[in-house]
Amino acid sequence: MNHNPQSILKTTFGYNNFRPLQEDIIDRTLEGKDSFVLMPTGGGKSMCFQIPALIFEGITIVVSPLISLMKDQVQALRGNGIKADFFNSSISLEEENEVIDRAMKGEIQLLYLSPEKLISVSSTWLKKLNIKLVAIDEAHCVSMWGHDFRPEYTQLKVFRNSLPEVPFMALTATADKSARKDIEEQLGLRNSKLFISSFDRENLSIEVKGMVPKKKKLSEISRFVEQKRGESGIVYCLSRKNTEEVAAYLNEEGYSVEFYHAGMNPEERERVQTEFINDDTKIIVATIAFGMGIDKSNVRWVIHYNLPKNLEGYYQEIGRAGRDGLPSETLLYYNMRDFVLYSQFAEDGANSAMQKEKLSRMLQFAEAKSCRRKILLSYFGEHLAENCGNCDVCENPPKDFDGTILAQKSLSGIARMGEKEGITILINVLRGSNNAEVHEKKYFQLKTYGVGKDVSFFDWRDYIVQLANQGLIEIMYAEGSALKITRMGWKVLKGEKKVKLTYPVTAEEKEKRKKKPKVVRMVDDGEVNQDLFSELKKLRYSISREENVPAYIIFSDKSLKQMAVDLPVTENQFLAISGVGMNKMEQFGEEFMEVIKKFKDVAKPVKIPTTLETFNCYKEGLSPQEIAEKRNLQITTIYSHLSQLYSEGKEVELEKFVEPKTVDKVRVAFNETGREIALKPIYEKLNEEVSYGEIRLSIALILKNE
């Protein structure tokens, strides 16, 4: 047996490098010590116990409350040639006996058990096994403080104490400081070391939209998914009714969609979930209950149709996107109604004060005007040094202005209506709308009536929410959301204090930013051959049907994309693909390489586009001159390639190859010759002093930067 974690990572799982902390955790476990692993969903927790499990000679017990996840993990492990089994209430008596038999014979490396099963067998056959490691997944379930408390978990301490020499590992994605202590105690961990990895999921973009009316929200969502056709995503809703409505809407628009909620029977839920995992259904509209038990790595987007109850839940839900590390989008819609509704729920529930506090933190996040990722991470105790560049605020930093007059107008409106009206009527009064309510209450007689005509309804709404966030206005949820003026608000009204407001971001601006390329790392999508990628996906799908496992268990999207870039056709090349270990190479290598070979043959006459070859040389750090020599081409040709790449948006620093002065000269000549992209007239116009290559470079720069 191989005893080197690094080489197991490569040969068994097909990965080249450990993620932060994985190696330390593995080393500590191999020394026989306890660990507490706190990593975000998708952070790579499982690897921390899976590799030791392969090194230890004996069995590793994995406790998990999520039955469907168990099956997935076991399938994934088997896909990599690892002997894994699970034991829970979903298997028949006969299967149970088979598993026990295999375990007793020492034929299982990892055995997944639900806590209740573990407890029921811990003093029978389980005792006889050569247990070398115990991993407790979703460890927060042991804490009564948490939101997923499971009573069976509290009995795990007895199990821990019965195996004093065995290292235990607790793993979770959610636990604040006080919960951590509680978990360690409840599980009886010994001298455990805490490993916290960054909770930042850089590949997830974050966007929040407030106060979007329902109709608009639906049509926006439809447009959003249209752009992502064929990719998997989840829409989270607050109520069952909502899930059905939204699913019906999207279904009518022609998308592959199903709803999912706790009111459906278990078989139906199982079916919907399986179809999603297998890529047969692309979109799931669900209440928060969905996703707990699934490990689908290629979820490309998550939309929240309503405001989540707290940031923990929100982060966990958006975390279901992009587990494979590829760029994925998340979008949160919220409105005040969600907030009010939840506040009322919280009022009646247990831990009312804490729930309300969490809810208001959630709202603050949604209404924030600074980097959202910073706010989110700081909530989890992590501090980003810089703004993330991948959230809507970073992409569209708000501009502020002196909003004192606007603030005074709204505050005065509130005062004149006796601090007993809500936001909508206030805006109607400010804007001078003559609707029934304004009329009936004779608000048209107020001095503030119509003083804010020039500001749109939605902008007013944005400003008033900002005023509330700044503590000038209080929204009295218990009094029909009436607006009241705070002490600070009165100061502003009396002119003793100034107010800064920020301009609302217009839909147009948001659209504009969409076109900008996002921070894409790892595989550059532009280089992925989409035809080949979809061929590979088809092959993966047919194999997954034959083998009756989810498609991503065969290969992740990320692996397929890399194949469609690197075009591996030998075993060694194939093994170099991330996610391809020996077992997958042996099982599927030939079939996939066959498709790639065929593709290469067809594509041969074209070969790799010559510009792309130049780009590859450029990325290796060669200068244009060196590229020309290496490729045996004219320097002008290389400049022309680089210009083309630059125009296509590739990262090429053209500015390096041509002087600004030259660009200016070319600009004049280019304009004078009628802006035609013909080099000769410009060359002549400039007295043959500027080379063709430089002209080409200059034109690319001119066109791209106008």
Choose the contact partner of 395 out of Zn ion, ligand ADP, none; CB within 5 to 8 A by kind.
Answer: none
Contacting residue, 12, 46, 343, 410, with ligand ADP by CB under 6 A: 46
In the numeric block, the tokens 């998340």 are attached to 330
d(CA 122, CA 383): 43
**Is 297 an interacting residue with respect to ligand ADP (CB under 6 A)?**
yes
Pairing of strands 131-136, 473-476: unpaired
Nearer to ligand ADP, 19 or 630 (CB): 19
Binding window for ligand ADP (CB under 6 A); candidates: 12-20, 258-266, 497-505, 660-668: 12-20
Min separation Cβ 570 and ligand ADP, Å: 22
**Is 39 an interacting residue with respect to ligand ADP (CB under 6 A)?**
yes
Nearer to ligand ADP, 19 or 491 (CB): 19
Length of the chain: 706
Q: Give backbone dihedrals phi and psi of 336, rounded to 5 degrees, phi first.
A: -60, -30
Q: Which residues contact 604 (CB under 8 A, 6 or more apart)?
A: none
Contacting residue, 61, 135, 388, 699, with Zn ion by CB under 5 A: 388
Q: Give the sheet arrangement for strand 299-304, strand by strand.
A: 204-210, 328-334, 299-304, 232-236, 283-286, 257-260
Choose the contact partner of 100 out of Zn ion, ligand ADP, none; CB within 5 to 8 A by kind.
Answer: none
Binding window for ligand ADP (CB under 6 A); candidates: 39-47, 413-421, 476-484, 660-668: 39-47
Choose the contact partner of 90 out of Zn ion, ligand ADP, none; CB within 5 to 8 A by kind.
Answer: none
Min separation Cβ 512 and Zn ion, Å: 17
Choose the contact partner of 209 out of ligand ADP, Zn ion, none; CB within 5 to 8 A by kind.
Answer: none
Nearer to ligand ADP, 335 or 562 (CB): 562
In one-letter notation, the amino acid at residue 646 is Y
**Is 84 an interacting residue with respect to ligand ADP (CB under 6 A)?**
no
Binding window for Zn ion (CB under 5 A); candidates: 44-52, 272-280, 363-371, 667-675: 363-371
Min separation Cβ 549 and ligand ADP, Å: 14
Neighbours of 429 (CB within 10 A): 27
Choose the contact partner of 658 out of Zn ion, ligand ADP, none; CB within 5 to 8 A by kind.
Answer: none
Min separation Cβ 586 and ligand ADP, Å: 19
Give the count of residues interacting with Zn ion (CB under 5 A): 6
Binding window for Zn ion (CB under 5 A); candidates: 380-388, 481-489, 600-608, 696-704: 380-388
d(CA 371, CA 360): 18
Residues of this chain, 109-138, that bind ligand ADP according to CB under 6 A: none
**Is 18 an interacting residue with respect to ligand ADP (CB under 6 A)?**
yes
User: Are residues 523 and 565 in contact, defined by beta-carbon separation less than 8 angstroms?
Assistant: yes
Both tokens of residue 91? 């298997």
Residue-wise DSSP of 403-454? -HHHHHHHHHHHHHTTT---HHHHHHHHTT---HHHHHTTGGGSTTTTTTTT
**Is 463 an interacting residue with respect to ligand ADP (CB under 6 A)?**
no
User: Are residues 74 and 125 in contact, defined by beta-carbon separation less than 8 angstroms?
Assistant: no
Q: Which residues contact 76 (CB under 8 A, 6 or more apart)?
A: 295, 553
At CB < 8 A and 24+ separation, what contacts does 411-414 make? 411/467, 411/472, 411/473, 411/485, 411/489, 411/490, 411/492, 411/493, 412/447, 412/448, 412/493, 413/446, 413/448, 413/451, 414/473, 414/483, 414/484, 414/485
Min separation Cβ 410 and ligand ADP, Å: 46
Nearer to Zn ion, 388 or 596 (CB): 388
Min separation Cβ 74 and ligand ADP, Å: 13
Nearer to ligand ADP, 136 or 658 (CB): 136
d(CA 223, CA 395): 20
**Is 45 an interacting residue with respect to ligand ADP (CB under 6 A)?**
yes
Nearer to ligand ADP, 41 or 310 (CB): 41
Query: CA distances (Å), 498 to each of 217, 403, 493, 524, in order?
Result: 35, 8, 9, 48
Nearer to Zn ion, 309 or 373 (CB): 373
Choose the contact partner of 391 out of Zn ion, ligand ADP, none; CB within 5 to 8 A by kind.
Answer: Zn ion
How many Cα atoms sit within 13 Å of 250 on the Cβ side?
29
User: Are residues 227 and 301 in contact, defined by beta-carbon separation less than 8 angstroms?
Assistant: no
d(CA 378, CA 384): 8
**Is 47 an interacting residue with respect to ligand ADP (CB under 6 A)?**
yes
Min separation Cβ 215 and Zn ion, Å: 29
Binding mask 250-289 for ligand ADP (x = CB under 6 A): ----------------------------------------
**Is 407 an interacting residue with respect to ligand ADP (CB under 6 A)?**
no
Choose the contact partner of 394 out of Zn ion, ligand ADP, none; CB within 5 to 8 A by kind.
Answer: Zn ion
**Is 44 an interacting residue with respect to ligand ADP (CB under 6 A)?**
yes
Binding mask 308-347 for ligand ADP (x = CB under 6 A): ---------------x------------------------
Give the count of residues interacting with ligand ADP (CB under 6 A): 16
Residues of this chain, 390-449, that bind Zn ion according to CB under 5 A: 391, 394
In the numeric block, the tokens 């069952």 are attached to 240
d(CA 417, CA 480): 14
Q: Which residues contact 528 (CB under 8 A, 6 or more apart)?
A: 561, 564, 565
Nearer to ligand ADP, 217 or 323 (CB): 323
Min separation Cβ 47 and ligand ADP, Å: 4
d(CA 447, CA 413): 8
Contacting residue, 6, 11, 19, 293, with ligand ADP by CB under 6 A: 19
**Radius of gyration for the alpha carbons in the chain, expressed in angstroms and rounded:** 30
Neighbours of 611 (CB within 10 A): 18
Nearest to 537 by CA among 276, 230, 299: 230
Nearer to Zn ion, 49 or 334 (CB): 334
Min separation Cβ 259 and ligand ADP, Å: 25
Both tokens of residue 66? 């999520």
CA angle 348, 354, 357 (to 5 degrees): 105
Min separation Cβ 516 and Zn ion, Å: 14
Pairing of strands 500-502, 400-402: antiparallel
Nearest to 490 by CA among 408, 567, 545, 606: 408
Neighbours of 23 (CB within 10 A): 17
Nearer to Zn ion, 327 or 693 (CB): 327
User: Are residues 321 and 301 in contact, defined by beta-carbon separation less than 8 angstroms?
Assistant: yes
Positions touching Zn ion (CB under 5 A) are: 371, 373, 387-388, 391, 394
Positions touching ligand ADP (CB under 6 A) are: 15, 17-19, 22, 39, 41-47, 295, 297, 323
